[in-house]
A and B are shown apart, each in its own frame.
Chain A
Amino acid sequence: MNPETVDAAPVVLEARRISKSFSGVQVLFSVNFELRAGEIHALMGENGAGKSTLVKILSGFEQPSSGEILLDGHPVKLPANGAAEALGIVIIHQEFNLAEHLTVAESLFLGREVTRFGVLDRKYMRAETRRVLDLLGCRVDANALIGSLSIAEKQMVEIAKAISRDARVVFMDEPTAVLSREETNFLFRQVRKLRDQGTSFVFVSHKLDEVIELTDRVTVLRDGQWVKTAPTSMLDGESIAQLMVGREMSSLYPAKTEPDVDEEVVLRADSISTDYVKDASFEVRKGEILGFSGMIGSGRTELMEAVAGLRPRLSGEVTIRGEAVPSGDVHAANRCGLAYMTKDRKGKGLLLNSGMTANLTLQSLDQHTSLGYLNPTSEAASLEKARRRFDIRVRDGNVVARRMSGGNQQKLLLAKVMETEPGIIIIDEPTRGIDVGTKQQIYHFISALARDGRSIIVVSSEMPEVIGLCTRVAVMREGRIVGMLEGDEISEQEIMRYAAGLKRMAAA
């Protein structure tokens, strides 16, 4: 099923039957992958398909649970923590690993500075930096501070860093996510030039058009499994999208209940703009579950934070049951019965060093306060209720949040948000990093809340989740709502078309 090209170049790096589990959850199932000399190989898949894990394993940042890695045909154990660079395997991260206060030359030689008689040989390092930058056709000054460069230039410096280490294999994780079209074109020209000199690239991207334009071969992963490897010329955007999502719906989800068409509109967002989100409008009815889909970085969280008052709006109106909510005012939004549940439960949701009670009641301490006195009995009663209602299972009632499992943390966070008895709940990534059993429970909680007459917005990067739960789905791309799907239109293919920019809602 994998048509061989006639004059196939030798394979540089190969993964054979790689499996990987993180604390009992298997994320890669016996995946094969081969990278030839002088090719640009796209690695595609939905969020959570296992692309990042595979990249980390092939660059030595993670060790596989089983399977082997071959470099030039010989089995190797890649050294950890970036030491694989010595073997010519370099990874360019999505977030740049550049210190803003260093110059370009200093960044290129960071950690392997050249010295003469114990003194830094700046002249040599500058000359070498110039040489590598010229090789890339990049006109950045070797003495410029990293902080003064544009994002595209930083990306080029990262690539120069890779080249200056005589990289044979370069992994690029969403390199164009932050680039403009011209910058992307420039980057692609350099990448092709290096490819023609024999460097191999692994290109991880969600942008189907770029994959088609740049890459030689495509490998698609789905749910941690290898699906297909084929020359890019034999595929088109539609077929790649099909390969990425082709999956059946399971019984993970409760039956959908659609709200009446004439049910009251409880939340109306009108042309919301922030520094990233542009002109986003939507409305939610009572008892409705509205989904928000799109790629990571499409502006969903920014939009929701702006609606919830956690982030200032540049323009636009939010009205809850007819009452206007001022920009950047969390309290006003809370008073109107809107609650936002963050996707970052460890960084923004829970106090990891505090126990369950302190976390549960943090947002709703007023309910337990009389004349300034915080009643521990009332708090304990709330915790007992929440533990039963959301099935929070812990061995020790005094456990700090840090020691709870991801699933229990998520249930505790949901319980915390529900303590304020909101009528509208925005749930950002309801099931990130939790096991399937708990996922199912959370889906049922969400469904039950909606049947109770609450309105719920589910923001999720996992398409099956949005499809399985929601009666309407908004798709965002680059800060805009580009599609609003209903009923039978809600399918992975359709969402993917909007999210990848192949299709766009007609301007209303």
Chain B
Amino acid sequence: MSANEETIQSTIHRRTWRDVDLRAVAPFAALALLLVVGAIVNPNFIGLNNLANVATRSAFIAIIAVGATFVISAGDLDLSVGSMVAFVASLMILFMNSGVIADPALMLTAAVVFAVAAGAACGLANGLITTVGRIEPFIATLGTMGIYRGLTTWLSQGGAITLREPQIQELYRPAYFGSILGVPVPIAIILAVTAVAAFILYRTRYGRHVVAVGSNSDVARYSGISVNRVRTIAFVIQGLCVAIAVLLYVPRLGSTSATTGILWELQAITAVVVGGTALKGGAGRVWGTICGAFILELVGNIMLLSNFISEYLIGAMQGAIIIIAMLVQRSLVRKS
């Protein structure tokens, strides 16, 4: 038997190009390809200003998608994130308009804490309905999607909710338009959120549990993992990410309406899947997700800058991307 030989070989295991997981690399390769295509289409595209703009605009979807990476890795799905953005943003603006705290800075701080708590609570509701209520996450979050959206419409009475305090507006503006050491704040926040998320997913006990639950919840249960708690916390993380996106969204326009965040859930899911996370759970790729969000925004940008494809086809293009991404993933799985 070749058993001895095997043991010897295993000890001198070397890293070869074959060890590189093609699925993990594919989104980054696609991003690089898009950059090249963009540069050919329009020389202005590759400029630092344009790229920074694209990255800034992708911030909302990117941050939400980071949360979605957790939910999807745990084998669930959250369709309510778009509505949740509108709902949490409405609550936050109404809170700031209420004037319960006189000092603008203090008021803003309280509003931020309030928004984060609201996001976490919305996520917790999703999590409890799915786990304790034992309802398919697709259905549960389809329900809360309607609820959050409906509550927003009711709060705004069908119109817009606008931040009224000019002092707070002035104070809050840099949160979207400012920059830290030359890096636009939204980009800095994307990177920070992603770094923290990657740490949690890859380097903590909880992250390992998320992947185990998404990969095979029976194995997780037999390993003594509280499956429902892991899933619920993933939904809360999703809620927190939505809240962070709201914190960037509110200073941008200073206003929300019942149509805020429509179809964002689909874009977030697209970003996650394009980034290489398996929709059936069990493999999370946080950096891939960010890459996926950039790809979505870049494609739109290239279409705008080029003259030969109408920008009205952006939606169709994004739809095509998700299908192509799945096909590429499938073929890579087969090869490995």
Contacts and interface: CB of A to CB of B under 8 A. Distances in A.
| A and B form one complex | yes
Given A347-B216, A351-B212, A354-B215, A310 B204 contact: no
Contacts of A398: 13, 19
A349 B215 contact: no
B203 A373 contact: yes
Given A350-B219, A352-B216, A366-B205, A330 B224 contact: yes
Given A310-B222, A349-B222, A353-B282, A395 B10 contact: yes
B10 A362 contact: no
A351 B219 contact: yes
Interface in B1-52: 3, 6-7, 9-10, 13, 19
A143 interface: no
Contacts of A365: 205, 208-209
A187 to B, nearest CB: 34
B3 A393 contact: yes
Contact of A372 (B13, B204, B220, B223): B204
Nearest to B226: A331
B7 A340 contact: no
B92 interface: no
Interface of B is mostly: helix
Taking residues whose C-beta sits less than 8 angstroms from the other chain, chain A's interface range is 20 to 34
Contacts of B209: 365
A149 to B, nearest CB: 27
A348 B218 CA distance: 5
Interface string A367-383: 00100111010000000
Nearest to B3: A393
B223 A363 contact: yes
Interface residues of B, number: 28
B276 to A, nearest CB: 14
A376 B221 CA distance: 23
A365 to B, nearest CB: 4
A393 B7 contact: yes
Contacts of A373: 203-204
A237 to B, nearest CB: 38
B283 interface: yes
B224 to A, nearest CB: 5
Contacts of B223: 362-363, 416
A75 interface: no
Given A353-B215, A397-B10, A340 B282 contact: no
A358 B3 CA distance: 24
Contacts of B203: 373-374, 376
Interface string A394-406: 1111100000000
B240 interface: no
A394 B283 contact: no
B246 to A, nearest CB: 26
A501 B201 CA distance: 53
A363 B224 contact: yes
A334 interface: yes
Given A372-B204, A373-B204, A348 B6 contact: no
A442 B130 CA distance: 41
A358 B211 contact: yes
Nearest to B220: A362
Given A365-B208, A373-B203, A374-B205, A394 B10 contact: yes
B176 to A, nearest CB: 31
B74 to A, nearest CB: 13
A369 B10 contact: no
Nearest to B203: A374
B230 to A, nearest CB: 12
A342 interface: yes
A351 B216 contact: yes
Contacts of B221: 310, 330, 348
Contacts of A349: 219, 222
Contacts of B283: 353
B10 to A, nearest CB: 6
B6 A394 contact: yes
Among A365, A387, A416, the one with the most B-chain Cβ atoms within 10 Å of its Cβ is A365
Given A393-B6, A397-B13, A331 B224 contact: yes
Interface string A408-439: 00000000100000000000000000000000
Contact of A334 (B9, B205, B211, B224): B224
Among A334, A349, A351, the one with the most B-chain Cβ atoms within 10 Å of its Cβ is A351
B122 to A, nearest CB: 25
A362 B230 CA distance: 14
B222 A369 contact: no
Contacts of A416: 223
Interface string A198-240: 0000000000000000000000000000000000000000000
Interface string B275-306: 00000001100000000000000000000000
Contacts of B6: 393-395
A98 to B, nearest CB: 25
Contacts of A395: 6, 9-10
Closest 10 CB pairs of A and B: A365-B205, A363-B223, A348-B218, A348-B222, A351-B215, A397-B13, A362-B223, A330-B224, A393-B6, A374-B203
28 contacts: A344-B218, A347-B219, A348-B218, A351-B282, A352-B215, A358-B208, A358-B211, A362-B212, A362-B220, A363-B223, A366-B205, A369-B204, A373-B204, A374-B204, A374-B207, A374-B208, A393-B7, A393-B10, A394-B6, A394-B10, A395-B6, A395-B9, A395-B10, A396-B10, A397-B10, A397-B13, A398-B19, A416-B223
Given A347-B219, A393-B6, 13 more contacts: A348-B221, A349-B219, A351-B211, A362-B208, A363-B224, A373-B203, A373-B204, A374-B204, A374-B207, A387-B10, A393-B10, A395-B9, A397-B10
Interface of A: 310, 330-331, 334, 340, 342, 344, 347-354, 358, 361-363, 365-366, 369, 372-374, 376, 387, 393-398, 416
